[in-house]
Chain A
């Protein structure tokens, strides 16, 4: 029987291209994910731990209540040990730079200075000298010879270093200094970390033990490997979210592959029904027929999976290179293909192929051996489970729909997810009723318009309801998920934006951190696109209650047009409006009396505590002028039009105040950030789901090409009766496009329902959900579906048009 299986695979190789491609793509997805994940882990390790793993012992201060650094003497005590060779000591601390409200890491140079290549100048050699990282140099506008000044003193910049290879620098600007200068700038004393090598001929374990004994309970001594693990753990939080996220989409792709495989096998085996019957007649047992067909699936699955793994690894390599080149995030420099990225996808591919082929295979093995004896009878394997399936499907749609509705109204996410899944499975099961019905609904008008080929395309599509349903299902999965994500994202975003507007009384607040904003800034703010109203707030710095040096702003009457809701409620001459947390910090309560003084002017005020106040402390402009007659503009508040491009407005505001140290805050930046995150996520998700759409399109092409083989005589007959080649191609294109459109229509309806139910279940009434259907995106999906359908029909149509009209008369 193995010989038979291989002969079948060899002689009918072309028919396996479609399902093979479907498996290949799904498996490649899994392989890419696992390879990328391994590469990422390895790269994170390199990035996070640097050369940590190469040291024998890594020493840091004991955890607990004791000092956070090792004592100064520890370096000598470790260095003097006979078991220890080289020792490197690091002293580092954090410096908060007030002027730019930024945090820097101040540290000694690493033992291996190659980790910190000098871009210009040199490394600091004595107290009073520092080298800064390129990002610090840029943000502070520093170059070699400039003075680096901080609240704790300053130093001369003697060099600029490249920190991209330094594991410690991630996210923070770095300042390199001598140990004494680190102490001067940060106040940190002692050693943050000691790294020791074993002396020649001494095993690492012995060196670790010696260091442990010498330092006792005051230090934590780890091996280099342990320290590297800990660094990775700290950087990644120990969770591998990315792999899970990607694998979820790989699973969707594999599900679609499975639908395509099941579909192809049922067509292939139905076509081979007479051969199967002949095998049974000459004495093959049902088990032998079954085994042979399953072996076919295994060989197909294995072959396609192995190629898929190769393609996946190459794709991962390309992605890693592209990601490193783009300079985003962690450079994926350590390309790794772990054994698991070969074995797991291969196994998954074989198992999915077998599982998908199982039902058609079992069905085909049921054929009666007598079917081989009827020379002319059209033999098809029948499905008895049709009615049960449709019944279950309807039950799933109704039941799942009810659960989904309950989950959405009650705001219970797991219930919503369950309802969505059940109803979707229901739709898939009931597909053999649903798909032909929708096909007639959306197809009859255009079909009539397209004449005979169009009408024939429609009839051909609905002729095999089960096959049409399963072909459309493959695409339905991808379309539903894409539409669900698009509608869900738009709806969620719109709903959250609405609630953000309610929560933030000001769209954009530009607040100076030192000095005034200056008239130029104020004027430019008015010119930002989408700004409908603005207010300039003069301000002074003074002591308020228990806190010193606070910004107090004066609110002009024009602010009423800018501030939404009740933010300024209660502000009146003689009142100090304080935001809740600022009032708490200052030790002021609602109704308390306090006096502000600036330069000899005193103003007594009554405190009003507000939950919605747009700034920390506010008085009327008149009161502020009394307090400080010359106060300049410290804050500008902007109101944006409801449909304004928040991201754009925020970016413009930031550009205006760039370099002045002013901060941009308010509801719009939050909205902009949200939009950016949601848009990026949506793009990524759509790209990932696109793989499953490609597989589905392969499925449509396969299904169509098999039906062309199956209908050779019939197609030849219509050609003999006078259908032109062009009309024939048109007919097949019509069949493919119709299926694609049906999948798109059903998928869009389902996706929209799920996309609305999702945010409802998620927010659970805490945010009023407003449906937002991104029509442009749905239009794109529909267009893509039509194009995909046309593309899928190209090869089958070419084959069909080669059929000679005379073939209608020949035997097969």
Chain B
């Protein structure tokens, strides 16, 4: 248990799924990646999604973030049903209401850090809130590195630039897909600390997919998945709690 803040009580829901099903392929060879998931993510809460390989955790995130469309069921993001949206509407949703941090390859190599950070705003044709940019980049310790290209930044700096980009639009939910996967342990800890700060200081809702129990322990809540179904959840877990729960799923972390 590494959390120091008071656990937040969920009063409103930032994102929710209802009977969510995702199948790949069709006919007898169809693979059911998600098999009826009902789960909610509270506003201002830091949730980690865990599960063994093939449990459907990445698919769940893709559907929540509007990167992919469901076979059946619904994804509700702040009251909007994503399952009826066109490709264009999903693109607009991604740049205005969702933020992303990936494991690797988060940044466009030809753009500077500042240009990468402001990209979603440019795409949306929205005005840049300079005060917000300053606050976010200062909080993330990036204010000195804004005119550098990704190739001139360290791995941790690159991930923080990706985080700053994700925060720029004040999204309903910030999705992080194995954000610490490509980082060493010290940089991982730093990254998780920044994620926590964004939850605490900006009230940001964060949903993180990870297979690292240490990373999951930084979350307020851990949702466990197995074979495309929910397999329990933990509140304010410690690393050991997570390891034990994972063991119960029959998987090694």
Using CB atoms and an 8 Å cutoff, list the residues of chain A in contact with chain B.
Answer: 1, 3-4, 7-8, 10-12, 274-275, 278-288, 368-370, 372-373, 375, 811
Contact = CB atoms under 8 A, between A and B. Distances in A.
A287 B119 CA distance: 16
A275 B108 contact: yes
Interface string B152-182: 0000000000000100000000000100001
B111 A373 contact: no
A278 B104 CA distance: 11
Given A3-B115, A4-B111, A8-B110, A369 B94 contact: yes
Given A278-B105, A370-B67, A7 B111 contact: yes
B95 interface: yes
Contacts of B103: 373, 375
Given A3-B115, A274-B105, A370-B62, A12 B110 contact: yes
A285 B91 contact: yes
Given A286-B91, A369-B94, A281 B100 contact: yes
B18 to A, nearest CB: 22
Contacts of A4: 108, 110-111, 115, 119, 122
B102 interface: yes
B67 A282 contact: no
Nearest to A5: B110
B43 interface: no
Contact of B92 (A281, A283, A370): A283
A406 to B, nearest CB: 48
Interface string B39-80: 000000000000000000010001000011000000000000
7 contacts: A275-B108, A278-B107, A279-B119, A282-B95, A286-B87, A369-B91, A373-B67
Those 4 A-B pairs whose CB atoms lie nearest each other, nearest first = A283-B95, A283-B94, A11-B110, A285-B91
Contact of A283 (B91, B108, B110): B91
B111 A284 contact: no
A272 to B, nearest CB: 9
B123 A282 contact: yes
Contacts of A280: 91
A286 B87 CA distance: 8
A375 B110 contact: no
A12 B109 CA distance: 10
Contacts of B87: 285-286
A281 B62 CA distance: 10
Given A287-B88, A370-B62, A373-B177, A281 B67 contact: yes
Nearest to A811: B104
A288 B123 contact: yes
Given A1-B122, A288-B123, A281 B110 contact: no
B13 interface: no
B106 to A, nearest CB: 7
A9 to B, nearest CB: 9
A288 B123 CA distance: 8
Nearest to B102: A373
Contacts of B96: 283
Contact of B94 (A1, A282, A373): A282
B192 to A, nearest CB: 20
A283 B67 CA distance: 9
Contacts of B67: 281, 368-370, 373
Interface string B194-207: 00000000000000
Interface of B: 58, 62, 67-68, 87-88, 91-96, 98, 100, 102-111, 115, 119-120, 122-124, 149, 165, 177, 182
Given A283-B92, A375-B103, A370 B123 contact: no
Given A282-B100, A284-B123, A375-B103, A7 B95 contact: no
A283 B120 contact: yes
B171 to A, nearest CB: 10
Nearest to B89: A285
A745 B96 CA distance: 56
A372 B165 CA distance: 16
A283 B94 CA distance: 5
A10 B110 contact: yes
A260 B108 CA distance: 26
A278 B123 contact: no
Contact of B105 (A1, A8, A285, A372): A372
Given A7-B115, A11-B110, A370-B67, A282 B165 contact: yes
A239 to B, nearest CB: 52
Contacts of A7: 110-111, 115
A282 B119 contact: yes
Contact of A286 (B88, B107, B115): B88
A369 B120 CA distance: 14
Nearest to B116: A282
A171 B47 CA distance: 94
A368 B90 CA distance: 12
Given A282-B100, A286-B88, A370 B68 contact: yes
Given A7-B115, A275-B109, A282-B119, A375 B94 contact: no
A372 B102 contact: yes
Contacts of B98: 283
Contacts of A12: 110
Contacts of A370: 62, 67-68
A174 B14 CA distance: 99
A662 B251 CA distance: 108
A275 B122 CA distance: 16
A286 B88 CA distance: 7
Contacts of A283: 91-96, 98, 120, 123-124
A373 B104 CA distance: 8
Contacts of A287: 88
A281 B109 contact: no
Contacts of A375: 102-105, 182
A203 B68 CA distance: 81
B182 to A, nearest CB: 8
A280 B96 CA distance: 13
A142 B205 CA distance: 106
A7 B108 CA distance: 10
Nearest to B96: A283
A142 to B, nearest CB: 77
Nearest to A277: B105
Contacts of B102: 372-373, 375
Contacts of A285: 87-88, 91-92, 123
Nearest to A2: B122
Contacts of B165: 282
A592 to B, nearest CB: 95
Nearest to A279: B108
A7 B109 CA distance: 10
A375 B155 CA distance: 14
B123 A1 contact: yes
B120 A282 contact: yes
A8 B119 CA distance: 14
Contacts of B100: 281-282
A299 B67 CA distance: 31
B48 to A, nearest CB: 17
Contacts of B108: 4, 275, 278-279
Contacts of B58: 373
Contacts of B92: 283, 285
Between A12, A285, A286, A375, the greatest number of chain B beta carbons within 10 A of the residue's beta carbon is seen for: A285
A284 B120 CA distance: 8
A281 B94 contact: yes
Nearest to B165: A282
Contacts of B88: 285-287
B217 to A, nearest CB: 24
Contact of B95 (A284, A286, A368): A284
A284 B88 CA distance: 9
Contacts of A3: 115, 122
Given A4-B115, A4-B119, A285-B123, 11 more contacts: A1-B123, A4-B108, A4-B110, A4-B111, A8-B110, A11-B110, A279-B123, A282-B95, A282-B120, A283-B95, A283-B98
